[in-house]
Homo-oligomer: A and B are copies of this chain.
């Protein structure tokens, strides 16, 4: 198989496949004309990589997972460790984004979004203490 066909069948663009070869994730053979010659096992590996990347594993994690996959004497605990660590990282990322989202959506809601220049989003970024929603009448004595 040439790179084009492998790209199509694995869903990974040719550029990326070449990159994966560069960093040693796949080692296709070469035909006489210098073209990469992929076997089914290469295709299989690339599909594996595609799915692992789609789950957000880093390239180094992918390298580890691929190694475990090919290691008959692996222990499933090793795989689970990698996956659990990644899961924890994802959870952290989600929490971080969620917190940004909360603040930001609050700010967006509080902004008139009209032709006037005053904007609570900018005020917040500028560190002006939020005047809450200023009461028309004071509540304090």
Q: Using CB atoms and an 8 Å cutoff, list the residues of chain A in contact with chain B.
A: 44, 47-48, 51-52, 54-56, 65, 68-69, 71-77, 79-81, 83-84, 86-87, 90-91, 93-94, 97-98, 100-101, 103-105, 107-108, 111-119, 121-122, 124-127
Min CB distance A42 to B, Å, is 14
- Are the CB atoms of A90 and B104 closer together than 8 Å? yes
- Are the CB atoms of A90 and B79 closer together than 8 Å? no
Q: Would you mind naming 28 contact pairs between A and B with Cβ atoms under 8 Å apart?
A: A48-B127, A51-B124, A55-B103, A55-B104, A56-B100, A65-B122, A68-B119, A69-B122, A73-B117, A74-B119, A75-B114, A75-B115, A75-B116, A75-B117, A76-B118, A76-B121, A77-B115, A79-B111, A79-B113, A79-B119, A79-B121, A79-B122, A87-B101, A87-B104, A87-B108, A90-B101, A91-B101, A94-B97
